[in-house]
Amino acid sequence: MALMGKLAIRHRPLSVNRRQFVLSTLALGGGLMIGLTPYRESMAATSAKPWEGGEGTEFTAYLSIGPDNIVTVRSTTPDIGNGTFTANPMIISEELPLDWSLVRGEYIPPERDLAEGGKYSTSGYLAYFSGRSTEPEKLHELLQLAASTRERLRQAAAEEWSAAVADVTVEEGRLRHADGRTLTYGEVAEKAATVELAEEPAPKPRADWAVLGKQSRNKLQMPMIMNGSTVYGIDLKLPGMVYAALRQSPVQGGRLKSYDFEAVRGLSGVRGVAVVDPDEPRAGLPEGFRAPFGLTASQNGPQAAIAVIADSYWEAQTALDLMPVEWEAGEGARWTSTQTFYDHLSDRLTNPVDPNIVVAEGDAEAEIGDAADVEAEFLTPYMDHFTMEPLNGTALVEADRLEMWLPTQHTQQALFVGADETGLHPEKVLVNQTWVGTGFGRRVYNDDTRMVVAVAKTMPGVPVKVVWSREESMRQGRYRQVMAGRFTAKLDESGMPKAIKSSIAGAGAGHMGIANSPYRLAVPNWLIQTQNVNSNLLTGPWRGPGWNSNCFMLESFINQCAEKAGIDAIEYRKTLLAEFEDPAWIRLLDLVKEKSGWGTDQGRGIAQGVAIGNWGMGGYSSTAPVGFSGTTVATVVTAEVSRRGDIYIPRVDLAVDLGSLINEDAVRQMLEGGVVMTLGAAMHEEINLNNGRVVEGNLDSYRLARQNDPSLPLEIHVHFEGLSNGERFSEAGEPPMGPPPPALAHAVYKLTGQWLNRMPFGRQNLA
């Protein structure tokens, strides 16, 4: 099929009247250079399709101003609900006042990064959304860009009016002369880009900020969400597009044995069948190219699969469901039940096989011996991401080119996976980032992209949208890493732990949040060992990966030590943290204590639990506590347990220190959502195995938190008074995933005398 219409426009050569200027900021000896870059053609833009670029004068890749006065602010970081599209324009507006109705978000695509020598991926990979979307370097670069652009606009307007620059002021979207004349930014943008300033302006001092941390802004895409026009990956429509429904080996790691396409060939709309063979060699990447997350079988390798292609998704899925297909289960079938695997995990905790000794401070083994004062075994199961938008993607494979439209979390990884699957040079691959119906880590590895391309390449020249049904999405997860842990401790005369042994086994078992816990400064003997043990299920990052298990285990264990010692759990932690350099931990504990009414009478049948942790420290040191980094979260969960054993959560208090805020309400939103998600997951979620297959396929068997869930918190109070307000702008999405579950378990212990050491908590009979 010939490529036509809109699809092709983007690749026409650049015409002179659509020049795009580039100012490269600061990097070149402090001065700004202005140049012309022949980069991808602009199209009439609409933000419902954030991959489509608007026309305009480009000041840098991050900022363009159009003749229609629309200011385009670009991001390398997919907005998956986290608000990157809104944070970047807010930063720009601190120095360059913007008319918010004329702001458009857009992406810097990975092919541009590749074409421009990787300058947008200087940290080693193009920023993707799984944290650190607001790096200070990016903040300062954007502030400088906005200030420099503002001064150029002023000078251009002054020239236009033959006036003094001093007489030109800026207001939202326009320039005003002292005598009242105005010009829009758009009217002078092209001229402004040619202005050479004698000196680049300094961005205003932080004390003068009027937007960042001072105002909250709704998401730029909110109006589109309100009327349903936002184009998520699954909503994409292209001329000549066909639809595929996909089924991968129900036992992950299995193989396709046989299928009978003839049985469904004649059904309405059916076009064809595609088989994906994982054993067929893939191209790999040319010398010098590297996929940020690598190309590995377990992360984004091809799975044995079959897909039916039809004129609509419904027809494709109907035919797929009717088509006889047989599978070779392979190795995974030996996991006859979840319990078989849990027993195996538990056995490995008892009889470690070549464990990885992460920390061996003092001699915990000798101190504890076989007389531990506190002992607990924890389990956090596999869980599904359940992205509201089921997995999907669209690809158009041609002889010398691959173009993809993806609801991905990592466009750069997608680009290289696409190159590997097609054998095309990475420079021949284009990635269009659509809106995303949440990610939580599921869309980082791009195994979904792999399967999209593997199916689409069977129909070269035709755009193919590949959709995973909900059942397929749930049964072909990259699940939350299952983890089991056995913790033992010896307490000293004052009740504080003098030795702890933490033994962890699980899929990708890590030590994040334990080996770098500041408690280590107060515990002279600590042995931390990990073992990587998995079934055939594939795992991957799940909002706060590793840490969402480790924080639960460590904080629950500390609560158990405190209860054993008969010491208030907040005071206990303050003692443990006394030597730590970062006072935020104690400050946050004091804050949630005060705000939650900790220690006061909560009423009959109501109790409170506490926990604290830090997400992001692992980026600085995974084995030693480092203060003033990442995001610290302290929480008090207030709970009730009914006579029937149902858990109710009237209130959650959360105090955070992520440094400084950019968009307060956006941060509050992420924290609230994280509390709901992590408590719902802790209460209900578990993926089970049956002969290597995933049992749960949909919401009839996989329970999620809902509005009418008894354990949905009735109130969530986020407290920002403990912010350190320094130069740190750390993340908000993952941090709330850690402390709430152990705090809930603590409260339930106080009410029932039972420790909830195993998720999902809802399985434990509390009646």
Partner 1 sequence: MAVTINVNGQSHEVDADPSMPLLWVLRDKIGLTGTKYGCGINQCGACTVHIDGQAVRSCNTPLARAVGQSVVTIEGLSADSSHPVQRAWTELNVAQCGYCQSGQMMAAAALLAQSPNPTDAQIDQAMDNVCRCGTYLRIRSAVHRAAELA
Q: Which residue reads 């998401």 in tokens? A: 219
**Of the ranges 4-12, 409-417, 698-706, 744-752, which one interacts with partner 1 (CB under 8 A)?**
698-706
Closer residue to partner 1 in complex, CB, 313/416:
313
Give which of 133, 128, 146, 131 is closest to 23, Cα–Cα. Answer: 146
CB of 732 to partner 1, least distance (A): 11
> Which residues lie across from 272 on neighbouring strands?
309
The secondary structure of 338-400 as a DSSP string is HHHHHHHHHHHHHS-SS-EEEEEES-HHHHHTT--SEEEEEEE-------SS-SEEEEEEETT
Closest-CA residue to 236 (of 6, 538, 563)? 6
Q: What Å distances lie between residue 681 and 129, 161, 385, 705, CA to CA?
A: 21, 62, 10, 7
Minimum Å distance from CB 605 to partner 1? Answer: 20
Residue 134 as a binder of partner 1 (CB under 8 A): the answer is: no
Whole-number minimum distance, CB 456 to partner 1, in Å?
18
Among positions 61, 65, 677, 723, the unique one binding partner 1 when judged by CB under 8 A = 677
Point out which residues pair with 273 in neighbouring strands: 308
Nearer to partner 1, 157 or 732 (CB): 732
Cα–Cα distance for residue pair 733/42, rounded to 1 Å: 33
Q: Which residues, in sequence order, are bridge partners of residue 377?
A: 486
Q: How far is the CB of 766 from partner 1 (least distance, A)?
A: 22
For the chain, the distance separating the N- and C-terminal CA atoms, rounded to the nearest angstrom, is 65
Residue type, 307: A
Distance CA 400, CA 421 (A): 13
Q: Where are the alpha helices (DSSP H) in 3-83?
A: 6-9
In the chain, the amino acid numbered 488 is T
Could you tell me the maximum CA-CA distance found in the chain, to the nearest angstrom? Answer: 87
Query: Which has the closest alpha carbon to 542: 435, 440, 678, 691?
Result: 440
Instruction: Tell me the closest approach of the beta carbon of residue 198 to partner 1, in angstroms.
Output: 43
Bridge partners, residue 609, by sequence: 637
CA distances to 641, 645, 704, 715, 743 from 711, in Å: 10, 11, 11, 11, 14
- Considering only 11, 165, 699, 763, the residue that binds partner 1 (CB under 8 A) is 699
Regarding 713 and contact with partner 1 (CB under 8 A), the answer is yes
Report the C-alpha gap between 21 and 479 in whole angstroms: 45
The stretch among 301-309, 312-320, 528-536, 606-614 that binds partner 1 (CB under 8 A) is 312-320
Binder among 14, 115, 197, 712 for partner 1 (CB under 8 A): 712
Contact flags string 381-410 toward partner 1, x per CB under 8 A:
-----xxxxx--------------------
> Could you tell me which stretch among 113-121, 309-317, 347-355, 585-593 binds partner 1 (CB under 8 A)?
309-317
Residue selected from 63, 73, 80, 402 as contacting partner 1 according to rule CB under 8 A: 80
Measured from the CB of residue 684, what is the shortest distance to partner 1 in angstroms?
Answer: 12
Phi, psi for residue 762 in degrees, rounded to 5: -60, -20
Binding string, residues 269-308; x marks residues near partner 1 by CB under 8 A:
----------------------------------------
Given candidates 398, 427, 568, 672, which one binds partner 1 under the rule CB under 8 A? 672
Buried b (16+ CB within 10 A) or exposed e, 14-23: eeeeeebbbb
Which residue, among 312, 424, 430, 360, has the nearest Cα to 9 in the 3D structure? 430
Q: How far is the CB of 231 from partner 1 (least distance, A)?
A: 7
Residues 222-251 that bind partner 1 (CB under 8 A): 222-232, 234-235, 237, 243
Q: Is residue 243 within 8 Å of 311, Cβ to Cβ? A: yes
Smallest gap from residue 383 Cβ to partner 1 (A): 12
Quote the strand ranges of 507-560, DSSP E. Answer: 525-532
According to DSSP, the β-strands at 255-259 and 325-328 are antiparallel
638 binds partner 1 (CB under 8 A): no
Q: Does 37 bind partner 1 (CB under 8 A)?
A: no
Please, which residue, 314 or 342, has the CB nearer to partner 1? 314
What is the amino acid identity at position 602? Q
Nearer to partner 1, 550 or 669 (CB): 669
Q: How many residues bind partner 1 (CB under 8 A)?
A: 62
| Of residues 189-228, those binding partner 1 (CB under 8 A) | 216, 218-219, 221-228
Rounded to the nearest whole angstrom, what is the least distance from the CB of residue 763 to partner 1 in the complex? 21
Contact status, residue 759 vs residue 767, Cβ threshold 8 Å: no
Residue 586 or 661: the one with the smaller Cβ distance to partner 1 is 661
- Residue pair 674/547 in contact by the 8 Å Cβ criterion: no
By CB under 8 A, residue 734 contacts partner 1: no
- What one-character-per-residue DSSP string does 515-528 give? TT-GGGGG-SEEEE
Q: How far is the CB of 674 from partner 1 (least distance, A)?
A: 7
**In the complex with partner 1, which residue's Cβ is closer, 715 or 727?**
715
The total of other beta-carbon atoms located within 10 Å of residue 747's CB is 26
Task: List the interface residues with partner 1, window 38-77 (CB under 8 A).
Answer: none
The residue whose two tokens read 């399709």 is 49
Where in 433-492 is the site for partner 1 (CB under 8 A)? 435-438, 440, 469-470
745 binds partner 1 (CB under 8 A): no
| Surface-to-core class of residue 672, CB atoms within 10 Å of its CB (0-12 exposed, 13-18 middle, 19+ buried) | middle
* Least distance CB 387 / partner 1 (angstroms): 7
Residue 700 found at the interface with partner 1 (CB under 8 A)? yes
Closest contact distance (angstroms) between CB of 472 and partner 1 is 11
| Of the candidate residues 708, 753, 765, 767, the single one contacting partner 1 (CB under 8 A) | 708
637 touches partner 1 (CB under 8 A) = no
Q: Shortest approach of partner 1 to residue 81 CB, angstroms?
A: 3
Candidates 284-292, 361-369, 429-437, 553-561; binding stretch for partner 1 (CB under 8 A): 429-437
Shorter beta-carbon distance to partner 1: residue 22 or 436: 436
Binding region for partner 1 (CB under 8 A)? 80-82, 216, 218-219, 221-232, 234-235, 237, 243, 268, 312-314, 386-390, 435-438, 440, 469-470, 665-666, 669-670, 672-677, 680, 698-700, 704-708, 712-716
